[in-house]
Amino acid sequence: MKINFHHSQAAHCENGVTSNLLRFHGINLSEPMIFGIGSGYFFSHMPFYKLNGMAVTSFRVWPGLIFSRVTRRLNITVRRRKFSNPGKAMQELDRMLDKGIPVGMLVGVFHLPYFPKEYRFHFNAHNITVFGREGDHYQVSDPVMENMEKLTSEELKAVRYAKGTHPPQGRMYYITSLPGQIDIKPAIIRGIHKTASDMLTIPLPMFGVKGIRYLAKRMRKWPEKYGNKFAALNLSQVVRMLEEIGTGGAGFRFIYAAFLQESAEVLGKPWLNEASKDMTEIGDAWREFAYQSGRHFKNRNNGDISYDSLADRLMIIADMEEKVFEQLRSLRP
């Protein structure tokens, strides 16, 4: 069974799967649109939540939220399933493919054969679409890949049942019905308001604009707390999260700028173009932070860059993000 499915590369896997699934069902939305409507933009720095023994820093919302928000805000009905039995999970996938329905699913990247080795770590919230089966091979649209890929049923089963933190447990999802008419304007406004409130109003230090300042504060203490070597590793992990495959550059800040630019036209609000420019500057400031950080952790004796100077940069970025979202918060229909 082969479904006529169009694979289109995206910066980020969840945006890409959502966008590709919607396109299959006749709704053409760009990746930035998906990301903006799904309120994907975020910041968090969570010392209580570790990856490789280091605090997790994230520039986006929790995996799965973008898909669920986009479909909810566009009144699209979806079905989501998980299976304790791998055999059943594969059977149900085959049944959907036989019906001609492409299926999105969560997989672990560690065993994905087509990924470069250096990128394979135990991350279990990668999204792909399976849209066909030929003999023992499944046709896979992985949004971060330039072309379509193939996996054998054994390989697919292995990645769907990856183990470790947040195992995917064969989770899959697909679109079941669409509303008669899609109106993206209210969805854009909902999306922007949610992101503004996520960034500005969560009363905890780890999240939103406060989270950036929190990271800055903690970063100043890294060298004495962790020693030079582990401090450098922590800094490099922030850079990886910022620029790792799938952020579109600068921790999704450029994707969001693209979204604001597109929204300016859709909503007929030229001032959003200004907000988009501000957002581009924020992205550039993050890139500069990454560049300086890179110089610092590569050559630890660099005189002019210190954890303090990097933290100062973060404080400025936090102010810039706060200013943009204060404006966006006042967006009215």
Partner 1 sequence: MKINEVPQDGAFLVEGKIRDLCYVVDDKGHYTKVLSKGWTPKNDAIRLAWNMIYENAEEIRRQVLSGILSPIALFMELNVMDVSILASYTGLPRRKVRKHLKMKGFRKLSPEHIRKYADALNLTVDELTDIERIRRIEIKHEN
- Considering only residues 6, 25, 49, 52, which one is a binding residue for partner 1 as defined by CB under 8 A? 52
Q: How many positions of this chain bind partner 1 (CB under 8 A)?
A: 54
* Residues 25-44, interacting with partner 1 (CB under 8 A): 32
x/- mask, partner 1, residues 135-154, rule CB under 8 A, reads: ---------xxxx-------
Q: How far is the CB of 201 from partner 1 (least distance, A)?
A: 27
- Considering only residues 65, 233, 267, 331, which one is a binding residue for partner 1 as defined by CB under 8 A? 233
Q: Establish if 168 lies at the interface with partner 1 (CB under 8 A).
A: no
x/- mask, partner 1, residues 236-255, rule CB under 8 A, reads: xx-xx--xxx--xxx---xx
- Considering only residues 68, 153, 261, 327, which one is a binding residue for partner 1 as defined by CB under 8 A? 261
DSSP string, 92-127: HHHHHHHTT--EEEEE-STT-TTS-GGG--S---EE
Piece of the chain touching partner 1 by CB under 8 A; list 157-165, 168-176, 185-193, 309-317: 157-165
Alpha carbon distance 128, 14 (integer Å): 8
Alpha carbon distance 286, 305 (integer Å): 15
Alpha carbon distance 21, 102 (integer Å): 7
Fill in the DSSP letter of residue 207: B
Alpha carbon distance 230, 212 (integer Å): 20
Alpha carbon distance 267, 188 (integer Å): 9
Q: Establish if 10 lies at the interface with partner 1 (CB under 8 A).
A: yes
Cite the beta strand spans of 13-171 per DSSP E: 41-51, 54-60, 77-81, 103-107, 126-134, 137-141, 149-152
Residues in the chain: 333
- Considering only residues 283, 307, 318, 320, which one is a binding residue for partner 1 as defined by CB under 8 A? 283
CA angle (150, 52, 16) in 5-degree steps: 35
Q: Establish if 222 lies at the interface with partner 1 (CB under 8 A).
A: no
Binding site for partner 1 (CB under 8 A): 9-11, 32, 52-53, 110, 114-116, 118-122, 144-147, 163-165, 167, 232-233, 236-237, 239-240, 243-245, 248-250, 254-255, 257-258, 261-262, 276-277, 280, 283-284, 287, 290-291, 293-295, 297-298
